[in-house]
């Protein structure tokens, strides 16, 4: 299957700082990327959908000014957690889909964010 | 709107026994259905997918699932459990518009334990 690389895999930051997470499709063009958040022992909660060159579409209840998503190219999307607080600590996972590749979404390995 | 339910947040089976993980979906359009597996602190790996072809779908690691439209189900089975099958399993649905912009909606997950 196609490869989606997510970086970093683990990050610890101080409260009030911002953290950027990258999601790259390595061998295909990702027309659409999805960002999920996962709390321990829970399912994946879709945060937003980003289409290359367009503004991201956020799910209800997700603060767009808090979680900045940029999908500037067909192989890269970034999620920036701004002014992070301890309650933002979570596992963040991206996935990518490309047109012409059926409906399968390929997932990154996730980023464990800890805000202290 | 689409949604997924998974009956049983936790399932335990003995090594060598049948594995049955239940998934029911709700969709107003013909769905695409997926089963993913997640190991601790990792991303998701696709086990198998249904995309309106054969209703019995075979996946990796000996897993298979059967799409039953009349029951709106897509249960995951494996004839003989292996210790390495212990993980979290997620059923997912998409297919709203059959484009790459489709959201992938996840069920709550089922944690599978395999007893030696």
Q: What is the pLDDT of residues B61-106, one digit of tens each?
A: 999 999 999 999 999 999 999 999 999 999 998 865 555 457 788 9
Closest Cβ opposite residue A99 in set B32, B41, B100 = B100
Cβ <8 Å between B90 and A95: no
Which strands form A76-81's sheet, in the order they lie side by side?
A4-7, A19-25, A76-81, A67-73
**What 3-state class would DSSP assign to A56?**
coil
B100 touching A, CB under 8 A?
yes
Q: How many other C-beta atoms are found inside a 10 Å radius of the C-beta of residue B64?
A: 16
Contact residues on chain A for B95, CB-CB shorter than 8 A: 103
Give the mutation candidate from A44, A46, A97 for the B interface (greatest B CB count, under 10 A). Answer: A44
Chain A interface, mutation test: which of B5, B31, B34, B104, most A Cβ atoms within 10 Å?
B104
pLDDT given for residue A7 in this prediction: 96
Quick: pLDDT tens for B5-32.
999 999 999 999 999 999 999 877 778 8
Residue where the block lists tokens 């026994």: B17
Would you say residue A102 has pLDDT above 90? no
* Average pLDDT estimate for A102-109: 78
Q: Residue B42: which of A1, A102, A109 has the nearest Cβ?
A: A109
Of the partner residues B43, B45, B51, the one whose CB lies closest to the CB of residue A102:
B51
Could you give the percent of chain B with pLDDT greater than 70?
Answer: 92
pLDDT for B100 equals: 44
Let me know if B1 is exposed, middle or buried by CB neighbors in 10 A (0-12, 13-18, 19+): exposed
Pick A4 or A102 by higher pLDDT.
A4
What is the model's pLDDT at position B51? Answer: 82
Average pLDDT, chain B: 89
**Which pLDDT value is given to residue B31?**
81
| Cα dihedral across residues A47, A52, A7, B42: positive or negative | positive
Supply B85's token pair: 């099958």
pLDDT in tens, A59-87: 999 999 999 999 888 899 999 999 999 99
Collapsed DSSP state (helix, strand, coil) of residue A3? coil
State the pLDDT at residue A52: 80
Q: Say whether residue B44 is in contact with chain A using an 8 A CB cutoff.
A: yes
SS3 B69: helix
Of B90 and A103, the one with more pLDDT: B90
B1 — pLDDT class (breaks 50, 70, 90): low
**Are the Cβ atoms of A46 and B95 closer than 8 angstroms?**
no
Contact criterion met (CB below 8 Å) for B36 and A105:
no
């Amino acid at each position: 299957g196609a490869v989606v690389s997510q970086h970093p895999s683990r990050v610890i930051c101080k409260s009030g700082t911002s953290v950027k997470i990258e999601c790259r499709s390595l061998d295909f063009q990702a027309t659409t990327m999805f960002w999920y958040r996962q709390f321990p022992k829970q399912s994946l909660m879709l945060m937003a959908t980003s289409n290359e060159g367009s503004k991201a579409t956020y799910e209800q209840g997700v603060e767009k000014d808090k979680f900045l998503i940029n999908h500037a190219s067909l192989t890269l999307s970034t999620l920036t957690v701004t002014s992070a607080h301890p309650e933002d600590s979570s596992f963040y996972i991206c996935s990518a889909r490309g047109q012409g590749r059926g409906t399968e979404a390929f997932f990154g390995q996730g980023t464990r964010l800890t805000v202290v | 709107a689409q949604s997924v339910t998974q009956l049983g947040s936790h399932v335990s089976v003995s090594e060598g026994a049948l594995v049955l993980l239940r998934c029911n979906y709700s969709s107003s359009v013909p769905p695409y259905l997926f089963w993913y597996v997640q190991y601790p602190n990792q991303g998701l790996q696709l086990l198998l997918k249904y995309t309106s072809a054969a209703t019995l779908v075979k996946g990796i690691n000996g897993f298979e699932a059967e799409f039953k439209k009349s029951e709106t189900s897509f249960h995951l089975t494996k004839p003989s459990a292996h210790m390495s099958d212990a993980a979290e399993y997620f059923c997912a649905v998409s297919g709203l518009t059959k484009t790459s912009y489709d959201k992938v909606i996840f069920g709550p997950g089922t944690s599978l334990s395999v007893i030696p």
